[in-house]
Amino acid sequence: MSDAKEKLAPFLTMALERGVDHARIIETPSIITAPWVRLKCQFGCFGYGRGLCCPPYTPTPEGMRGILDSYSHAILLHRHWQKGYAVLDEFNELVVDIEKALFLDGYYKAWGMGSGPCRRCKKCDPTGSCLHADRSRPSMEACGIDAFATAREHDLPIQVLRTHKEERDIFGVVLVE
């Protein structure tokens, strides 16, 4: 892992300079998937079935586990989001920027997942092709990743929100081999 930390350190610096609170190199087996996660999307999120970056169009938890198992490392990103300060789109842009920077540095398998439903288009057409496939990415949860368990596995803060007005912690991950 120390070799990976050394090689990937510039990407952690990039993330921290762009406002994340934590950026950590982790091993992909520590990313936790679970079948119940997509139920939270299906029965609790307005985005379910409405966009190509949301279930049922995203990898299943079992499929995501297979994808994760084809990588050795990931960069886990965390940002504390104070309501009223629009950081979600900025955070998701950073995920894609890190993915692209890794790719251009020779990490051709780099692929990222952000936080929340994609909001690039006013209305997504799930029967067609994504108009922003170069920049749109699903959330970790949309792919069956248990963000709570994964964050806690890496000693990062996360809590259940009681209202939509509360501050929250958002997470993204960039897979890298």
Tell me the two tokens of residue 134. 């170069």
Residue 100 pLDDT greater than 90, yes or no: yes
Predicted model pTM: 0.94
Residue 171 pLDDT greater than 80, yes or no: yes
User: Domain of 63?
Assistant: 2-176
In the chain, where do the E strands start and end? 22-27, 73-81, 111-113, 168-176
pLDDT of residue 62: 97
pLDDT of residue 1: 67
Tell me the two tokens of residue 151. 């964050």
pLDDT digits (tens, 9 = 90+) for 59-82: 999 999 999 999 999 999 999 987
pLDDT digits (tens, 9 = 90+) for 30-45: 999 999 999 998 998 8
The tally of domains found in the chain comes to 1
Residue 84 pLDDT greater than 70, yes or no: no
pLDDT digits (tens, 9 = 90+) for 103-147: 999 999 999 999 988 888 888 888 889 999 899 999 999 999 999
Residues 6+ apart with CB under 8 A from 153: 30, 32
pLDDT of residue 98: 98
Q: Could you tell me the pLDDT band of residue 20, with boundaries at 50, 70 and 90? A: very high
Q: Could you tell me the pLDDT band of residue 164, with boundaries at 50, 70 and 90? A: confident
* Per-residue buried b or exposed e for 119-152, using 16+ beta carbons within 10 Å of the residue's own CB: eeeeebeeeeebeeeebbbbbbbbbbbbbbebbe
